[in-house]
Structure 1
Amino acid sequence: MEPTLNSDEAVAAVLQSSESEKDSTSNEEGEEYLPGNEELCSSSEEEKEEETKMELDSQWRSKNGEILWCPTHEETLRFFPASILTPGPTHYATARISSPVSAFDLLFAEDLMQLIRHFTNLQGKRSVKQWKDVGEEELRAYMGLLILAGLYRSQHEATESLWDGVTGRVIFPATMSRKRFQQINMALRFDDRLSRPGCRRENKMGPIKDLWSKWSSRLPTFFNPGREICVDEQLVPFRGRCSFKQYMRLKPAKYGLKIWALCDVQTSYAWRLQIYTGKSESAKREVSQGMQVVLDLTDGLKGHTVTMDNFFTSFPLAEELRKRKMALVGTLRINKPELPPQLLNIQHREVMSSVFAFSRNAALVSYVPKKSRNVLLLSTKHREPQVENSGKKKPQIILDYNKCKGAVDHLDQVSTIIHQLFAKLFTVTRC
């Protein structure tokens, strides 16, 4: 028989039972909400995956996987133009120029004129009956007539018409007779034809190599280019016989001699020129030709911004120019490996929209001027996503590119007056 409890003992027993149930319930609830080790690991992995995804969204990898681009410019370093420039004629030039004649003499110095006279007289004695040696003044007069013929756009005009009493120009017969002009034309040479066996195999420019190198090397000594310079190709119209004559369908003249030119944007002064003689038969295929041309033309310069088209522009060139204290602004071909895929997909892009990508020292922009058209530019000068507020909403990179790119094209227009002189110079390379 169970013992009976008085009232106090019964109350104590009930309270003890209630506390025991409360502790048991508390333990069960604690076990239900405390995460185990597996749950903690799973949560940590999800956070890492989320962080990795955010990092990938903030960094775009180039097609070759070597360059990381960011859609924002926060980590891009500021651009500081190097060195103080003093553009314009050099002290050497200003000290020697007092008239148009002295300017001509500076470009065609005595050693050049002596070289032309020597080999022209040598050839004249061999090939022209009753040859009379060309003197200094007569050679200058002959070259002046060639420049005037270019000024009058008479490269396709017969020589007889220039001396004609009705259709001609008075200055031509007043300077020299047509017969004498044609004699000099026939005898004009820049080297000894008999003493250059096999020169074409070694150098296609053999007949004019010495003259060209002496003349073109003088150009940088007369003028200091400004902050903005431009590299591009120029076509000197020419349809005569020449082994390195080029066909360029986009140029007005179509046929001629291709010259790489570095020009000052402000004045279109040709600071350095390089003739393209075509592919070498003996040498291996030239790699990164555009890059090498720019590095050759800009050798000795620093503190400038070089504008160029997509034949030359590349990220390795931009890095090399930056090491030389120069900036680059240029269009890019769509197949360049340094481009991130995010700039190439324009399927759902709006017209006149721009997408930027930045590295530490460079900026890329993709601009859609019209549907299905993607314009790509690279710049180491611009470091912010600046876009004009009105009009076609072009990025500042494109505005600066358009402002500077026309320097060589303007040189084409200006230099038409001396194309007649260059055409004669290249004509003799066939001999």
Structure 2
Amino acid sequence: MVTPAERQPDDSRERVDEIRRLLMNDESKDPAENEDLGKRVTSMKWVEQDEGDSSTEQDGEDLSSDEDDSSAAGLLYLAGVYKSNRQCLEELWGQDGNGIEKFDLVMSIKRFKILIRCLRFNDRITRRERKALHHLAPIRESMAAPLFGSGPNITADNWFTDFNLIHKLKTKKLSFVGTVRKNKRYLPFSFVDVKGRAQYSNMSGFNDGIVLVSYIPRKGKNVIVASSLHCYDAIDPRTEDKMGPELITFYSSTKSGLDIADQMCAPYNVQRNIKCWPMVIFCAMLNVGGINSQVIYLSNQLEPMCQQRFLKRLAHELLVEEMLRRSQMMSGLHTSMQIRLKRS
């Protein structure tokens, strides 16, 4: 591990560039080219939905500009900071004194709705062949590629655990440890049924290099963990009379990163009540991006800043360019709006 004192000045910049490169969903690995793709397919979706509606076209002009991308992200961060991520947009843009003024200063509610509805990351021309593999296959393969063949372990919760995935990761020399949902059809009934099983009892199974362990920490509670990292079902002596399997102890010691990330995202979550999957993914990326950007900020030994204050400043930096552009508009905005923009 590199300590802050040993870290070179350019390390943070290199990490930012590496993270950005990994997030790009394209073989070219060219960030500018991928950003242009996102803007192009977003604009295509807007034209497809709103063709012929002149009022909407006016609001959606230059829909895929950098300012729009940054402003939409900034407003989502701001809503999260004020814990208004689930609040309806009409209230956030409210003119009755109960709304948040900065929302109205950045863009109209109509424009924001268009951005949220039309945001896309994939090219529909190649969509059919990509969906034949998996909805998120290109993103997953791109982000996991640096790990292939290097031999690290992946710890995940029951949302991701699947035996087919574990076998595929093994071919890439990656081990996997994760909890398993009780409703999985491939689980033997004896592993799922807790009737008659005593507290602290455990049960193990082995199949093609995968170890499956079922443990009863208390009456009626059943923890099932699958692992391709372990080849045994030994009891951890540190658990003493609780007879906890070493596999479950390992999982508990390595899953803290997942729990901490979830805990840090929860207070200022940007996720909204939407049915559009691209927006769900986008909001999840913003949540994690907010944490990662603060880590990089603090690693540069800059001014100490709490999470709320940092996210508020991040939102401001994403919004200030669009607010400046609107303040310089001589037409199209109400006089009171121009005054408020110049004041802000």
TM-score by length of 1: 0.41
Larger Cα-atom Rg: 1
Greater helix fraction, Structure 1 or Structure 2? 2
Greater strand fraction, Structure 1 or Structure 2? 1
